[in-house]
Amino acid sequence: MDVEKRIQELREELQQHNYNYYVLDKPQISDYEFDMKLKELQELEEKHPEFEDPNSPTQRVGGAITKNFETVVHDHRMYSLSNSYSKEELEEWETRLRKVVDGKLQYVCELKYDGASISLTYKNGILDRAVTRGDGFQGDDVTNNVRTIRSVPLKLKGSFPEKFDIRGEIVLPYEGFAKMNAERVDIGEEPYANPRNTASGSLKLQDSAEVARRPLECLLYSIVGENTGIESQFEGLEKAREWGFKVPQESELKNSIEEVLDYINYWDNHRHDLPYETDGVVVKVNSFYQQEELGHTAKSPRWAMAYKFKAEQESTKLEKITYQVGRTGAITPVANLQPVQLAGTIVKRASLHNADQIEKLDVREGDTVFVEKGGEIIPKIVGVDFTRRDPDSEPTKYATHCPECDTELVRNEGEAQHYCPNTNGCPPQIIGRIQHYISRKAMDIEGLGGETVALLVNAGLIENYADLYTLKKEDILPLERMAEKSADNLISGIEKSKEIPFERVLFALGIRYVGETVAKKLAKHFKNIDALAAASEEELVNVDEIGARIAWSVADFFNAESNREIVQRLKDYGVQLEISAEKLANQTDVLGGNSFVISGVFEKVSRNDLKKMIEDNGGKVSSSISSKTNYLVAGANMGPSKLAKAEKLGTNIISEDDFLKMLN
């Protein structure tokens, strides 16, 4: 017998049967026959290790142990989706789309499965790695665990791109979840709370053999990569099925928002017939060209919308109202509830948002309240059962002093929230600001987590984020759970943070209303922290897209002597508080004061590169043509309505070559 040939035959046969069973749900042999073939292959591989293959069907049983999950930066960011809850919101979304793109719009409707997001990378048809969503920019490498999921192909079928990513959800079907819980109850263990959290937790188990025993499935919905040859979302789904991925058959192509709404109404009524948890429908513009033209906001694609089914609602008793203090001093009232099961989880607390919301709903301690999961994530109180109210109950009196430092609260005119003004003496504010400073999107200090920050503050070792740079190994070793290696990692992570670019440092400072996008705009305009600190509110408002509220907040931050001292210390310690010379060398003001709209297909430069070139040279990129648009950069296949609008408004219409000449 030719052993190598027999091993290859068995692998191909088992891969096909695996695909028939787990992807197509059409088994062609019995479980016993499958197990016998698998056993024969295992025995041959054990006797002939020279023919080892990490993608063999025998590797599905797991066994690899992962102590620490490596953090991996996504090649293509994993954005979150904007949510809508009504027909009107979807119609408004379509109106916004039509202002930007020309021609017919088609939509792909997909069920929004409730699981753990995953990104799979394939190279030459072989599974290379699997990474969790994380914060969208980077996630954890869970390849060993994902390899055990039978519906994830280790080798692809047919013809496919050399390299691409495919995104999806790891889910736990109801049937498998019920079976797992029955087994846990039989051995006297607590049952798992819900399928979604169990699926997510499974990906971070250290023993992949344990993951292999769980009936997880992987449902794929989005191909991402360069030069894939795919031109639309629906084509991508069909290709993914051909290559061997499990793509839900419920996905459909629609020609209007009316058809989309029919799809939503159908599945709102039939979702409980599905084998998995689903909480809504994702609607995507089908054409990749139109998707590119629509682009993204700072957080989500403009070409996709998640329609959320009406949230589940339960009633329970509100036992006590307490108050939380955020890093900016904002006070959030919290309803502490009698525990209640809601959308698969036990809910004990819910946000009451602010004093106005409490007054509007007339919420009181002791009331029976109606609780929903807003967007299926954050529980919120939506009403009171007045028929069950105690006749002697008293209206809620909102807190007048900070629950942490007893400072009298303030409420600025025109704002809904109360604030604790004790910025430098209120412990949650001190800890919160430092936790924000070290977070992933800010300084991303490895080896330093939120709990360690609290330990450092409570031990009196730090009072602000500048103090981090004075820490020594001997200072932190006595801390609880701080081993030698952990201390080394922390000190090394703090030192490495000095390489973080200016715009992220500016975001890390935690200035109110200065998020990632605003920080980038301010850093680009002022170039360094000194120029920004010296800017008046009037100068700040003149920066593109900086409003009066942000301008006031930035000026207020730098007016405080304590903040100026901290910033000076950061500068002295070597933190990047100006745009690097290399970055400055690539920026000019050649296009300053000009607004551009890009439309069509380009030959020499990609659309994203065009946008970057405009912004790097002082121009502004807009998605739609208005009277403020100075130039329309027109490529091939540009829509006629956009061209007509530009001509009507007298906008300068230039070609790709014309634009490149402007820069030269």
DSSP secondary structure letters along 122-191: EETTEEEEEEE-TTSSEEEB-HHHHTT-TTS-SB--S---SEEEEEEEEE--HHHHHHHHHHHHHTTPPP
Q: Is 406 annotated as a binding residue?
A: no
Domain boundaries, the chain: 3-61, 75-308, 313-388, 427-498, 502-584, 595-663
List the one residue out of 276, 258, 274, 364 whose CA is nearest residue 321: 364
Q: Is 35 annotated as a binding residue?
A: yes
- Given a contact cutoff of 8 angstroms between Cβ atoms, the answer to whether 556 and 412 are in contact is no
Domain 313-388 maps to which CATH number in 2.40.50.140, 3.55.50.30, 2.60.40.10, 3.40.50.720? 2.40.50.140
Domain 427-498 maps to which CATH number in 1.10.3720.10, 3.40.30.10, 3.40.50.300, 1.10.150.20? 1.10.150.20
- Over the chain (664 residues), what is each successive 10-residue block's mean pLDDT? 80 77 71 76 79 74 75 90 89 91 91 93 94 90 92 92 95 88 79 83 89 92 91 96 94 95 92 86 94 86 91 88 92 94 82 89 93 70 88 92 95 88 92 93 88 91 95 89 87 94 95 89 91 94 86 94 95 92 73 87 84 86 86 84 86 92 84
Please tell us whether the domain made up of 3-61 is placed in CATH 1.20.200.10: no
Instruction: Give the angle subtended at the CA of 105 by the CAs of 100 and 106, to the nearest 5°.
Output: 140
Q: Is 426 annotated as a binding residue?
A: yes
Q: Is 402 annotated as a binding residue?
A: yes
- Catalytic residue, candidates 26, 39, 99, 112: 112
Domain 595-663 maps to which CATH number in 2.40.50.180, 3.40.50.300, 3.40.50.10190, 3.40.50.970? 3.40.50.10190
- Encoded amino acid at 156, one letter: L
Same topology between domain 75-308 and domain 313-388: no
Q: Is 91 annotated as a binding residue?
A: no
Q: Is 405 annotated as a binding residue?
A: yes
Q: Is 33 annotated as a binding residue?
A: yes
pLDDT computed for residue 259 by the predictor: 96
Q: Please state, in angstroms and as integers, the Cα–Cα distance from residue 587 to each residue in 501, 583, 630, following that order.
A: 15, 7, 20
Distance between CA atoms of residues 116 and 95, nearest Å: 32
DSSP secondary structure letters along 287-340: BHHHHHHH-B-SSSBTTEEEEEPPPPEEEEEEEEEEEEE-TTSBEEEEEEEEEE
Q: Is 133 annotated as a binding residue?
A: yes
CATH fold label, 75-308: D-amino Acid Aminotransferase; Chain A, domain 1 (3.30.470)
Q: Is 376 annotated as a binding residue?
A: no
With tokens 């790695």, the residue in question is 129
- Given a contact cutoff of 8 angstroms between Cβ atoms, the answer to whether 434 and 448 are in contact is no
pLDDT computed for residue 358 by the predictor: 92
Q: Is 169 annotated as a binding residue?
A: yes
pLDDT computed for residue 635 by the predictor: 87
- Encoded amino acid at 81, one letter: L
Q: Is 232 annotated as a binding residue?
A: no
Q: Please state, in angstroms and as integers, the Cα–Cα distance from residue 462 to each residue in 433, 560, 625, following that order.
A: 12, 20, 51
pLDDT computed for residue 246 by the predictor: 94
Tokens of 240: 């993914």
CATH fold label, 502-584: DNA polymerase; domain 1 (1.10.150)
**Phi–psi pair at 107, nearest 5 degrees:** -125, 145
pTM as predicted: 0.69
Q: Is 218 annotated as a binding residue?
A: no
pLDDT computed for residue 175 by the predictor: 87
Q: Is 289 annotated as a binding residue?
A: no
- Residues comprising the chain, all counted: 664
67 given a catalytic annotation? no
**Phi–psi pair at 442, nearest 5 degrees:** -100, -110
